[in-house]
């Protein structure tokens, strides 16, 4: 019973934090994009436009939910945005947000589900996001969303393979699929990113993560110039904002994965931050460190989006199948040899 209550509370807090961060990522994106284009960005609602996400959310909720007449399968049409958003939120539950919080005389782990196959669960759940896009594309019953849906299913399947294969070397070194062990290992040794033989994995992972979240330069499913808005063309109001939330939540989760796998999760490589927290404040500081690291990656996402033009579709597929997948396999063998020779563990 106690377990259920604590887990429920964790889920509530996690979702609250996640959605807030996601909302403010949208704000950050608009701000950063504006700055990069020598503009000011949202600045009307609240100081520095900080209340903009609230205004946006309110606007989205109050908008009319238009159901185009040519949509025959309403159930699938509604399922689309749900499937785009929910997986990303679920995935966040398998990621350790911090070490632990000593609260009410208990040690509360800062992870909703401490699974021993957490990485697989993350990949498995995030692979569901593709259904959202495919269903939206199909159920919209018109050609641009459909093309977007087809494109995205091909893209996401290809890059899922790269994504999963690229982190295999990391787990070969740790010898566990648990994300909590992952962070623990990095607190004892050093962050993965400081081990040169893991660099190829990181590079491939980060690029595949961009493709997996459909962000520029790989935002082919919603290429505005060719496909209007791709899969979300026929959506409005809350359904549209669910796609939006889903995209940003997926960005968050992917950033969290990068932080956990390569940048030591909630830890910093010096005194009170490199071991599980003993006081509440250090516990909270760990969460803050984790979020700060994620913020860096979110900024990277945004930065790249407003810099690099979209690649062509055949380039994208060629990059995935002809370069990345062979490269990841070679990388696995290479890291295996390195670990066997120098005994990485």
Positions that interact with another protein (CB under 8 A): 32, 34-40, 73, 75-76, 79, 115-117, 120-121, 123-125, 127-128, 130-131, 134-135, 137-139, 146, 149-150, 153-154, 156-157, 160, 164, 177, 303-304, 306-308
Closest to another protein by CB, 40 vs 337, is 40
Q: Please, which residue, 11 or 33, has the CB nearer to another protein?
A: 33
Structural contact between residues 22 and 247, judged by C-beta atoms closer than 8 angstroms = no
Torsion of Cα atoms, 207 then 213 then 216 then 219, to 10°: 120
Residues 6+ apart with CB under 8 A from 216: 210, 304, 305, 308, 309, 310
C-beta of 125: minimal distance to another protein in Å?
7
Q: Which is nearer to another protein, 308 or 337 (CB)?
A: 308
Q: How near is the Cβ of 73 to another protein at its closest, in Å? A: 7
Decide whether 26 or 302 has the Cβ nearer to another protein.
Answer: 302
Smallest distance from another protein to CB 277, Å: 27
Q: Cα–Cα distance between 191 and 264 in angstroms, integer? A: 5
Show Cβ contacts of residue 267 under 8 Å, excluding neighbours closer than 6 positions.
Answer: 99, 183, 186, 187, 273, 274, 286, 289
- Here the tokens at position 228 are 């209007």
Least gap, CB of 217 to another protein (angstroms): 9
Q: Which residues contact 49 (CB under 8 A, 6 or more apart)?
A: 27, 30, 31, 41, 42, 43
Phi, psi of 274 (to 5 degrees): -105, 15
Minimum CB separation of residue 124 from another protein in Å reads 4
Helix, strand or coil for residue 104?
coil
Question: Which residue, 22 or 135, is less far from another protein as judged by CB?
Answer: 135
* Pure H helices in the chain: 2-36, 52-62, 74-91, 118-126, 129-139, 143-166, 168-174, 179-188, 199-212, 224-227, 237-262, 280-305, 313-318, 325-342
For residues 10 and 305, which CB has a smaller minimum distance to another protein in the complex?
A: 305
Q: Which CB atom, from 15 or from 154, has the smaller least distance to another protein? A: 154
- The residue among 280, 148, 138, 258 whose CA lies nearest residue 207 is 258
Task: Using CA atoms of 302, 25, 223, 243 in order, give the dihedral in degrees to the nearest 10.
Answer: 160
User: Smaller CB distance to another protein: residue 121 or 282?
Assistant: 121
CA gyration radius, the chain? 21
> Which lies closer to another protein via its Cβ, residue 17 or residue 124?
124
CB atoms near residue 43 (< 10 Å) = 14
Q: How far is the CB of 94 from another protein (least distance, A)?
A: 10
Q: How far is the CB of 285 from another protein (least distance, A)?
A: 28
């Amino acid at each position: 019973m106690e377990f259920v209550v604590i887990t429920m509370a964790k889920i509530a807090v996690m979702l609250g934090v996640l959605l807030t961060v996601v909302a403010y990522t949208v704000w950050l994106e608009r701000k950063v994009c504006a700055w990069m284009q020598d503009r000011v960005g949202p600045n009307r609602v609240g100081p520095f436009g900080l209340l903009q996400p609230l205004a946006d959310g309110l606007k989205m909720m109050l908008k009319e939910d238009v159901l185009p007449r040519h949509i025959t399968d309403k159930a699938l049409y509604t399922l689309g945005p749900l499937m785009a958003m929910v997986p990303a939120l679920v995935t966040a539950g398998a990621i350790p947000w911090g070490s632990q919080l000593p609260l009410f005389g208990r040690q509360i782990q800062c992870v909703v589900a401490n699974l021993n196959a957490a990485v697989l669960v993350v990949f498995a759940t995030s692979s569901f996001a593709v259904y959202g896009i495919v269903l939206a594309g199909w159920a919209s019953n018109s050609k641009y969303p459909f093309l977007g849906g087809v494109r995205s299913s091909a893209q996401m399947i290809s890059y899922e393979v790269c994504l999963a294969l690229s982190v295999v070397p990391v787990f070969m070194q740790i010898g566990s699929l648990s994300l909590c062990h992952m962070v623990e290992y990095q607190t004892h040794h050093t962050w993965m990113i400081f081990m040169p033989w893991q660099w190829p994995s990181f590079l491939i992972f980060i690029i595949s993560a961009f493709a997996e979240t459909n962000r520029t330069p790989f935002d082919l499913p919603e290429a505005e110039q060719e496909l209007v808005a791709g899969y979300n063309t026929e959506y409005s109001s809350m359904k549209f904002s669910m796609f939006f939330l889903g995209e940003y939540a997926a960005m968050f989760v992917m950033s969290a994965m990068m932080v956990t796998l390569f940048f030591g999760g909630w830890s910093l490589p010096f005194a009170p931050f490199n071991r599980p927290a003993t006081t509440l404040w250090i516990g909270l500081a760990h969460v803050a460190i984790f979020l700060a690291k994620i913020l860096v990656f979110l900024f990277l996402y945004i930065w790249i989006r407003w810099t690099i033009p979209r690649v062509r579709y055949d380039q994208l597929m060629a990059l995935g199948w002809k370069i990345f997948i062979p490269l990841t396999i070679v990388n696995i063998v290479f890291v295996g040899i390195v670990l066997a020779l120098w005994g990485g563990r």
